[in-house]
Amino acid sequence: MEMLKWPELLIAALCFFALLYFRRWKYNPLPTNWPIVGMLPSLLVNMHRPHDWGAELLRQSGCSFRFEGPWFGHMDSLSTVDLADVRYILNTNFSNFPKGPEFKEIFDVLGDGIFNSDMELWRSQRKVGHALINHPSFHRFLEKTIREKVRNGLLPVLHHLTMQGRPVDLQDVFKRFTFDTTQIFLAGVDPACLAIEMPKVPVAEAFDDVLQILFYRLLSPRFVWKLQRLIGTGIEKRLGEARDTLDRFIETCISKKREQRLSRRDEVDLLTSYLVEEEAKGLRSDKLLRDTIMNYMVAGRDTVSSALTWFFWLLSQNPTAEAKIVEELLKAISQKKKNPSEEEVLLAFDTNELNKLVYLHGALCECLRLFPPVPFQLKTTIEQDILPSGHTVNPKSRVLISMYAMGRMEEIWGKDCLEFKPERWVCREGRVKYEPPYKFLAFNAGPRICLGKEVAFAQMKLVVATLIYNYHFEAVEGHRVVPKNSIILHMKDGLLVRIKRRVI
């Protein structure tokens, strides 16, 4: 019999190992820790769905899973959604779990901003941000900005798109809306990204590239992306180009604001506040201002647009919940005026009224539980420690907390954890039900709990209430809705909807 040639032998060997792998997977779906490459093959197989794959691993392994990466790849990590562990890491022993130098290296685009920094640098930035966000004048500025952008940007665009009768990418609309409002909050300038013409915005596109590439850095062996960065090729080349675009944009914002400071001193945007802080200390640091703006752009633009997109998709899949929100809004508006004008119909609510709407608040919380805009947190251990779950973490260990997985754990939210149930957040007395931050982690917990939580809720409630009261959004049948591989949980292919004017 003629001897088999090497191609046939190779194919036979591959088939044998494939059968062996799938036979093993049938009885143990957890990834195999292979010699040299570790669990990297399983990660590569699931790179099209890393968030859901991670949630499955944590469910199968009892809330904690240790990933073993390839040798010298610096990818070994402990993932946990154990509530005792989460509380311990984010609060009880907070000082032993900073972002760390590895996080700063991976996310170097963010510089020394509040998301990247630790210790005193983080505290000083948080102090300035806290003083601004809690100032009454900023709250007035916030509400005025959102209402004007809804009136002059969001509603005219939606009206135009409704009249055209064609499917609309609602995610693109929300990204444009939040890009504009964030720039007004940060620098007092409206870039008019949200307009009927839907202009191309290179800065916004650069931001999307940065967020996606940083995610791939996190899931790649360190030597791979470092080599790409060194020789300027692949996704690292794309990252460099996107970063240059963002740096030029931010540099222009800072330069214009410095010029304005010579004649105008009554503005309340964030950049002005930092310039006032500079003047008081006699310092000047364009790099710190650049890093600050970069971080707050991520916080303001991407997180809110992500939450709004997933919220309207969930409503399109849950008409009963939408009907209850409409009912709550009608009840609120009926207490104001019986015959409102057209302008009052379009902009029917203010933030004080919306804060009293319990079901609306619960629906937003439920959306954030299932689809947290920031789907994970990465920490680094300073000293060896033993977590409440019994897992040991060594110095410089990677510890990953998956907020996306937490919302899908029966141990945390019950057997109905995969269902969209706003009632989950309503007490018997009709008030909003409190859940501890380390369980509902959409806004972080402990000392690093999100400064902009109330700002985000105010913005989302005003947009949601205005749009739902005036329009009905129907998701286009057959359009694929899956999370994008990014450090922000956007939809990979956007959200195509048909918009109809609601008849009340």
Tell me the binding residues for heme: 450
SS3 181: helix
> Which tokens sit at 474?
């129907």
The residue with tokens 């105008």 is 264
Helix ranges (DSSP H) in 28-61 = 40-45, 50-60
Q: Which residues contact 64 (CB under 8 A, 6 or more apart)?
A: 58, 78, 79, 80, 81, 82, 85, 387, 389, 391
Eight-state DSSP code of residue 48: T
**Separation between Cα atoms, residue 93 and residue 56, nearest integer Å:** 28
Question: Does residue 417 contact residue 396 with C-beta atoms inside 8 Å?
Answer: no
**Separation between Cα atoms, residue 207 and residue 239, nearest integer Å:** 10
Nearest CA to 69 out of 214, 225, 218 is that of 218
β-bridge partners, 471: 501
Nearest CA to 461 out of 147, 57, 113, 83 is that of 147
Residue 252's alpha-carbon distances to 105, 187, 246, 259, 502, in angstroms, are 26, 11, 10, 11, 42
SS3 81: coil
Q: Which residue ranges are tagged as binding site?
A: 450
